[in-house]
Amino acid sequence: MAKPRLSHYDAAGRARMVDVSVKDVTKRTATARAFVRLSRKVLKALPENPKGDPLEVARVAGILAAKRTHDLIPMCHPLQLTHVDVGMEVGKLGIEIRSSVTTSGQTGVEMEALTAASVAALTIYDMTKALDKGIVIEFIRLETKSGGKSGEWRRSEEKEMTK
């Protein structure tokens, strides 16, 4: 059985952008999550942040980041995104970030969803670091993807990683 090759390398081992021109245009979706672990002090201070509402700024930053993923990740294709959503839920231990991205195209949007969640988490860190430098960003992960030749994929892990 032939050893599988990574698609971002040519036969000589050089990095390359994958040619997606022969792929079918299909609806592609992906969802991702990240968790920002915050101290009680930071969580309590969120509504009074002098820089503004960290969650709203992080939501906008995540949306903008999804749209610019191809500028950040070298082999990503520029995509015409049709929808990006970034939501957050404040819990006892921190903030759970959820992103979802949709397009109709020839390649998936997993990287865009992961970038949205990651940049939203980084923005929360930036806006709250004055209160605590020990903030931890963790559990950045793809949750679902659909569309294209490989079809549906869903993380099989059922337990909440942030509880």
Catalytic residue annotation: 126
The angle, 0 to 180 degrees and rounded to 10, between the axes of the packed helices 54-67 and 110-128 is 150
Return d(Cα 37, Cα 26) in angstroms, integer. Answer: 37
